[in-house]
Amino acid sequence: MSSSSTGELARVEGELLARWPESRVEPSLTRIHALVDLLGSPHRAMPVIQVAGTNGKTTTARMVDELLRGFGLRVGRFTSPHLESMRERIVLDGEPVSAERFVETYADIAPYVQMVDAGSDVPMSFFEVMVGMAYALFADAPVDVAVIEVGMGGTWDATNVADARVAVVTPVDLDHAEYLGPDVATIAGEKAGIIKTEAIAVLAHQQPGALDALVRRAVEVEAVVAREGTEFGVLERRVAVGGQQVRLQGLGGEYEEVFLPLFGAHQAQNAVTALAAVEAFLGAGAATGPIEQETVRAAFAAVRSPGRLERVRTSPTVLVDAAHNPAGMAASVDALKESFDFTRLVGVVGCVRGKDVAGMLAALEDVCAEVVVTQNSSPRAMPADELGALAVDVFGADRVSVSPQLADAIGEAIELAEAGPDDALGGSGVLVTGSVITAGEARTLLAGRRT
């Protein structure tokens, strides 16, 4: 990337970050509707597969993308939040868009964003502008299909300006309760807003209240429903080197000997949900049989999900994981127990305010000998001392250290892992977790790479 491109990208990122952040929400589709109308409705230029839910959205979207490209389609993918680079949110042909194209797209839509701002009491947020950029870029490319991850909720999320042909809902749990509601049924009702007339709703396994809300919405709009455990599901899985081997029941039949280079039952669930979504998009079903098995196997073998129990260092092993709520942390802990054989694991935890931090720490307590609490660079970061007090309540004072700088915290955790009483060579590890931001910053520090 040239120095001029770097400078222009930094300028654009600065202008975007000066807008309302994703943590500040004014629920409405008015502004995004106004923008896409001015842009000539780019969100209607291609069919959309939309992914909502509480956990697993980004990974499922990545899997859908990989499968669709395996079948020769040109795919645009929008996900959030990013780990390291803002450009990760807008992906074309499997790669984050270039700095030049990111800057060009922003320049193309900026005058129209200003027009919307001028006509609104509330200016467009960072997320709304990013959504507008994604739809504009995908229409211009052009792509054959856009895979769009919901930011928060569903009904009033800016991505929902589009009418998805396939609406995917990963497991719904408690998160963002201040915006979405106090229980899973209410939250699912909000996420159900992505299910539109004549769509196909692909529903991962849900808690009863959530499933009722989702199916009710599908019935109201006369959408077709495919449910995990009924129309599709994971038939078998076993741990394998570097991931797991799975047998999947799709809408069109069974898919055997599929290698998935990701860990945990939740990733197998994400995989079969993505498979069902792609089958639905391609028109596969019981009457047509499975889609091409070798293509499916090759696509899943190529899937990567950065920041999801990702190994970024060895000796000792350091994993980064973006779990940021109790359900996500519990899934990661189960995967750790199943796929790794640590004799001693030290956690590095950095969280943001507004989350059930005590619930996440309780999930970690079962696998971490000690934790080093820290804080990331987010304005919403929970101060390390405050997080430390919560950790002491769960782990006890003798198992908690406080290190406000993430780099120092990781260094301390590595020393603790290596110097523990077990002192088993190769059996110690470090898990950095608690927030997408924490995971992303740890990747930058440890992997030294940007996308």
Q: What angle do CA 99, 105, 107 make, to 5 degrees?
A: 100
- What are the CB-based long-range contacts (under 8 Å, 24+) for 57-60? 57/149, 57/150, 57/170, 58/149, 58/305, 59/262, 59/267, 59/270, 59/305, 59/308, 60/168, 60/170, 60/270, 60/273, 60/274, 60/277
Q: What angle do CA 305, 307, 312 make, to 5 degrees?
A: 105
Which pLDDT belongs to residue 419?
Answer: 82
pLDDT at 450: 37
pLDDT recorded at residue 451 = 35
pLDDT tens digits, residue range 358-383? 999 999 999 999 999 999 999 999 99
- Among 74, 81, 199, 82, smallest CA distance to 147 is for 74
Distances (CA, A) of 307 to 220, 277, 350: 37, 23, 14
| CATH assignment, 310-447 | 3.90.190.20
Q: What is the spatial distance between Cα 148 and Cα 76, in angstroms, rounded to a whole number?
A: 8
How many whole angstroms separate alpha carbon 57 and alpha carbon 327? 13
> Considering only CA atoms, which of 167, 99, 125, 104 is closest in space to residue 35?
125
Domain spans of the chain, in order of start: 3-302, 310-447
Quick: pLDDT tens for 391-447. 999 999 999 999 999 999 999 999 999 886 544 455 899 999 999 999 999 999 997
| Strand ranges in 41-141 using DSSP code E only, listed in sequence order | 48-52, 75-78, 90-92, 95-96
Task: Say what the pLDDT of residue 131 is.
Answer: 98
Residues in the chain where the model's pLDDT stays below 50: 422-424, 449-451
Residue 211, strand partner residues: none
Residue among 304, 336, 307 nearest 323 (CA): 307
Report the pLDDT value the prediction gives residue 143, as an integer from 0 to 100: 98
At 146 the three-state DSSP class reads strand
* 3-302 under CATH 3.40.1190.10, yes or no: yes
Q: 3-state DSSP helix/strand/coil percent for the chain, to nearest 5?
A: 45, 20, 35
Q: What's the pLDDT at 181?
A: 59
CA–CA–CA angle 323, 207, 361 (5° rounding): 30
pLDDT at 152: 87
Return phi, psi of residue 101, to 5°. -70, -35
Pairing state of beta strands 145-149 and 200-203? unpaired
Residue 423: per-residue pLDDT? 45
In this prediction the pTM is 0.93
**How does pLDDT run across 56-67, given as a tens digit for each residue?**
999 999 999 999
